[in-house]
A and B are shown apart, each in its own frame.
Chain A
Amino acid sequence: MSHLDSVPLWVAIPVALLIVLGSGLTLLGTIGLVRLPSFYDRLHAPTLGTSWGTLGIVLASAILFTWLEKRLVIHELLIGLFVMITTPVTLMLLGRAALHRDRIEGLDAAPPPAGAPDNPDEQLP
């Protein structure tokens, strides 16, 4: 780790702060994933890790390696971009699967499908 000794303090401090911010948010997201009461609530928790959780770690990496290699290293930012673009696919899949199941089981917590009457019992003859 001798090359890290050459990193000056004004680079090391923001890098350390960004790493702590990113990993802290990701940790909080996982804690939320375990502790939150309902499935729909738990959907929100991991997005901490996929937004600023990822961005903090990725920015720290970009700053540190730009300094160490003395050239612009920004390909990490693409990780953040792709994580951000692909998260909705998984989240919508999980969310809609949960909605579908809750509606079939007739749970009151699940909202009816769009366009359906608010009280389906009234439609029965």
Chain B
Amino acid sequence: MSRLLPYPVLTFGLVLIWLILTRFSLGHLLLGTCVAILASWAMGALQPDRPSLRRATAIPGLVGIVAWDILRSNAAVAWLILSGGRGGARRSGFLRIPLRLRHPAALAVLAIIVTATPGTAWLEYDPETGVLLLHVFDLVDEGDWLDLIQNRYEARLLEIFE
């Protein structure tokens, strides 16, 4: 099983994408499955250590939280651009955040979350110390941002991946 399907989630996702892009039919299901299995073998050749999902049930919750946060920060940043940064009172700055996450896949997901959320930009991650350098668009209280990344996202990612 694991030799035929080294990445079951990836394979399933690719089949799903294939079926969404085409119309559902038995032929497309078979063709898509073949492509997905070949692609997952290629992935297996590229990256030997596969991410292990410890608690996949926590994923929908994380997706919901992130979608809501992205919407909220979209509104916040749009307002800051419109109002000229609260009349010049906006202060942006760098922030160092020590991370407990070490898994590359989990870090990649965190990078996507941080980048997709307007207002925070992932600049640099040091794998030796595990410190992430963020740039924050509206740095009112550093503690709030630390709390957001470490408790809201990182804790859930730790729960899912490690």
Contact = CB atoms under 8 A, between A and B. Distances in A.
Main SS class of interface, A: helix
B135 interface: yes
Nearest to A72: B20
B112 interface: yes
B116 A111 contact: no
Given A50-B116, A51-B118, A88-B114, 7 more contacts: A40-B92, A44-B119, A51-B70, A78-B20, A92-B115, A111-B96, A115-B131
Interface string B90-109: 00101010000000000000
Nearest to A91: B115
Interface of A: 24-25, 28-29, 31-32, 35-36, 38, 40-41, 43-45, 47-48, 50-52, 74-75, 77-78, 84-85, 87-88, 91-92, 95-96, 99, 111, 113-115
Nearest to A77: B20
A33 B70 CA distance: 19
Contacts of A28: 78, 81-82
A50 B17 CA distance: 20
B69 to A, nearest CB: 10
A95 B135 contact: yes
Given A48-B74, A92-B123, A114 B131 contact: yes
Nearest to B119: A44
Given A47-B115, A47-B118, A114-B133, A99 B124 contact: yes
